[in-house]
Structure 1
Amino acid sequence: MRLSVVRRPPLVNSLPLPMTLRVYRSLSSAMVPLAPAFINRRLKLGKEDPARVSERRGVSADVRPVGPLVWIHGASVGEVLASAALVEQLRALNLRILLTSGTVTSAAVVAKRFPPDVIHQYVPYDSPRYVARFLDHWRPSLALFIESDLWPNLILSSAARRVPMVLINGRMSPRSFPRWRRVSGTISALLGRFELCLAQSETDADRFSTLGCPNVVTTGNLKLDVPAPPADQAKLERLMAMTRGRPVVIAASTHPGEDEMLAEAHKILAGYFPNLLTVIVPRHPDRGEAIARMVEASGLHASLRSREELPTAATDIYVADTMGELGLFYRLSPIVFMGGSLVEHGGQNPIEAVKLGASIVHGPHVFNFGDVYEALDQAGGARKADTQEALVKQLGQLLADPRAREVSLKAAERVVERLGGALDRTMIALEPYLLQLRLEMGAANA
């Protein structure tokens, strides 16, 4: 893939805000007195970290490091992980990194998989007051927003302070694009504040350009360059010992509505593969107990990892409701069903599973990674299952035929290699900004 650029008129920082954004700013300011009640509700739901809730108001106990600071923002786990290789490249240039996200699960991933010198903060609630506190404290030198998590006050306030902003790994889904077109003045006023948009595909680039990005470059999908997730070797060996001799299917990052279909598929497949073990790894681990109850109610036996249970000979479905262990389970089986695809969630990233040697099965709803799945399907590197019956058929064929698994995996690996390289293209596109930061570091050290 070559770098392709779509240029548009200059930034619109000086233009008046549309009425929608002026109303939004007023309302978000007026809602500040309700913030404590909102935060308390989220705390009860487990959606906030009680020890760090002040960060949501722009208050931090951490000290800003000396020198240039690159701020990277992603909504949740997927976006944070997409930045991992980029973070390493920036650290190699001796740049300090501030990484913000909005979910407890993403914070746990940062703590587990990122170097300790990467500063993580919860992104402040999008009130002008909270955003101002955040920016006053951190004073970022460069802001990199991942994909499409566009908070108006965060963007407008950063632009007003002349923080250079770049949208990286930009994605505009087929569902979001027509919605934004209906409020083109609003989205144009936001996207026009970005100096550069690095889009995942030509289609994404065209959409961002149409919506008002002044300078768009197609660099590819950073998630294709994400390294395979790690695994605890001792835990892996123990699991392999407990499952030795059994055919195993992994259902990764499942969403509500899929677990029941997988349990039913297991029943049918177990008639042909009597020792079959299905491992369900829910996208949100707090659903583990409910999944286990559903499995037991269906007449199957479940074991729950959060209870520190291991799969026994009697276990039909192992519910892996823990954080940060997908790398462990991808290594356990050569067959992976990618969740979020039998329901209209849009699918999950299959690349990590491919890199760890898995044959991929997925449902019809994969618009979050449409280009990737299309390439995999066309090359024979993944199998699409539109219905539960098709799911049983595709899994059954892979369970029965090791040669088919090998052919599928080799095809998938070729696709991943061909589509990769987004990290290098992203670094090339960011070079003018990084050069400026290095000059600032040199001047400070002179």
Structure 2
Amino acid sequence: MTPALYRLLTWVATPFVRPLLERRRRRGKEDAARLPERLGYAGLPRPAGPLVWIHGASVGEAQSVLGLIRRLAGGTPAVSVLMTTGTVTSASLMASRLAAGAFHQYVPVDQPQAVRRFLDHWRPDLALWVESELWPNLVLDTNRRGVPMALINGRMSQASFEGWRKRPGLIRPMLDCFRFVLPQSNVDAAHFTALGAGDVRTLGNLKFDAPALTADPAALAQLAASMDERPRWLAASTHAGEELAAGRVHAALKARVPGLLTIVVPRHPERGEEVADSLAALGLTVARRRSGDVITGDTDIYLADTLGELGLFYRLCAISFIGGSLVPHGGQNPLEPARLGNAIVTGPHMGNFSETLGLLKAGGAVVEVPDEAGLAAAVEALLSDEDRVAALAAAARAVALQGDGVLDRVLAALKPLVDEAASRARP
């Protein structure tokens, strides 16, 4: 595969793009009101002055750069920040989290015409790519326009590395477009270097320096009152199959842990109805947050099928299981509960956060279980051992604080590019 062949194939696929987006819209995976943005038609005017464009795939990538966006949008020189992502959940989250001077748009599909429309309108003066969301047309066309680019908080899993290694004719030209790559870890640095990246600098993981997830104080007080002193645990950012596992764990423990409450927060809240039905089929009493259901003494599962409230539930629970790890997904960010002082439990599939998990293990800050039975045993043990929970929580918080200063180092590396962007900006 070469850039020319990839571009030709995406031209040939043009007639299929709109039908594909329509199918995704019907499944709730696209925003009907903003679907034109996916075809490169801007939903907002371009602000005057220098514009920094930051792109990340979804919620995790977007949240990891919120602090960076805040500093860029409020810094000197004054710049506007365009944040693009590709998912409905990330767009909803960004609407409430972006700093003044920053705004969100959906990334265009990687089809030549859509990319051209996007770049013609926004004319970015600097482009920053987050983690590993590399679309060939978008990367290469941005570079052809002379826009300086950098890859920040770069992540390259072993699976992605093996995949790209089979396509050197495509990945090397893309990596050549970046002035430098700032990987999350030494492992990621080795992967990017092996794939052909030139200037690779390991400055740390921005997720370590991200602000703690927020929570509405009124909602926190109301939920805490409704839960009273009931023993509880959280299954956070769960994927298909993990909600049922959490339900079976609850069913197995409820007779031995009087008053037990299990809180489930699906990674994709649009699955709420499906998840509620499957848990109810186990004979459990489910209260859905999206439906406004209240927690009563009979509630077994509180299903938090809403967006952007995970910080609320990490504060309400001392014990948190990290979703995406009991099924082969690669896990979710364990630093979010660590930062809020939770005792963390994970399954065996944490490959997307292997280095972070290694730090948590070295710090005695995580309980890793092999399967559902192990999860049940770990949750039961922690529910009966407050000292162990407190020790795990303190260790997790200490690990999370190791990243202080990463944001400053990344900003220092980016400063020459930001200054260049300000000097080249057109009216």
Q: Letter of the aligned partner of 1:40 in structure 2?
A: E
1:340 to partner: Cα distance = 0.3
Q: CA deviation at 1:117?
A: 3.1
Partner of 1:7: none
Structure 2 matches for 1:105-116, cutoff 5 A?
A: 105-116=89-100
Aligned to 1:367: 351
Is contact 2:342–2:396 with CA below 8 Å preserved after alignment? no
Counterpart residue number, 1:400: 384
Alignment pair present for 1:184 and 2:168: yes
CA distance in 2, matches of 1:75, 1:401: 39
Deviations 1:231-258 (A, max 9, x none): 1111111111111120111110000111
Partner Cα distance (1:419, 1:197) in 2: 19
**1:151 equivalent in alignment to 2:151:** no
SS of 1:423 mapped into structure 2: helix
Q: Which residue of 2 aligns with 1:61?
A: 43
Amino acid at match of 2:108: P
Q: Indicate which of 131, 137, 158 corresponds to 1:174.
A: 158
Q: Counterpart in 2 of 1:340?
A: 324
Aligned with residue 146 of structure 2, among 144, 152, 162: 162
Task: Give, in whole Å, the separation in 1 of the partners of 2:52 and 2:369.
Answer: 42
Q: Please, which moves more after superposition, 58-67 or 308-317? A: 58-67
State the identity as a percent: 46
Give the structure 2 partner of residue 198 of structure 1: 182
> What SS is found at the alignment partner of 1:354?
helix
Cα displacement (A) at 1:298:
1.0
The worse-fitting range, judged by mean Cα deviation, of 119-128 and 387-396 is 387-396
SS in structure 1 opposite 2:2? Answer: helix
Q: Are residue 253 (structure 1) and residue 237 (structure 2) matched?
A: yes
Q: RMSD over aligned Cα, in angstroms?
A: 1.5
Question: Partner of 2:119 in structure 1?
Answer: 135
Q: Distance in 2 between matches of 1:154 and 1:259?
A: 37
Once the two structures are TM-superposed, the CA of residue 439 in structure 1 deviates from its matched residue by 4.5
Equivalent runs, 1:204-215 vs 2, <5 Å: 204-215=188-199
Equivalent of 2:270, from 278, 286, 300?
286
Q: Which amino acid aligns with 1:340?
A: G
Q: Distance in 2 between matches of 1:34 and 1:273?
A: 54
Say which SS state the counterpart of residue 346 (structure 1) adopts.
coil
Give the gaps of 5 or more residues in structure 2.
none
Matched-pair contact (CA < 8 Å) for 2:70–2:98:
no
> Which range moves more in the overlay, 53-62 or 31-40?
31-40
Residue 440 of structure 1 and its aligned partner are, at CA, apart by 5.3
Q: Is the 8 A contact 1:221 1:420 kept in 2?
A: no
Q: Give per-residue Cα distances to partners, 1:281-335, cap 9 Å, x unaligned.
A: 0001121112211211112111111111021110001111111111111111111
State the number of aligned residues.
425
Q: Deviations over 1:332-381 (max 9, x none)?
A: 11111110000110011011212222111110110111111111122111
SS at match of 1:33: helix
Contact 2:41 2:118 in 1 (8 A): yes
- Do the aligned partners of 2:3 and 2:169 also contact (CA within 8 Å) in 1? no
Structure 1 letter corresponding to 2:33: A
Determine which of 423, 429, 437 is the counterpart of 2:413.
429
**Counterpart in the other structure of 2:11:** 29
Question: What CA distance in whole angstroms lies between the structure 1 residues aligned with 2:100 and 2:31?
Answer: 19
C-alpha displacement at 1:184, in angstroms? 1.8
Determine the C-alpha separation between the residues in 2 that align with 1:435 and 1:118.
18
The offset of 1:223, in angstroms, is 1.1
Gaps of 5+ in 1: 1-18
Structure 1 runs of 4+ off > 6 angstroms? none
Partner of residue 30, structure 2:
48
Q: Matched residues in 2 for 1:270 and 1:355: separation?
A: 29
> How much has 1:438 moved relative to structure 2?
4.5
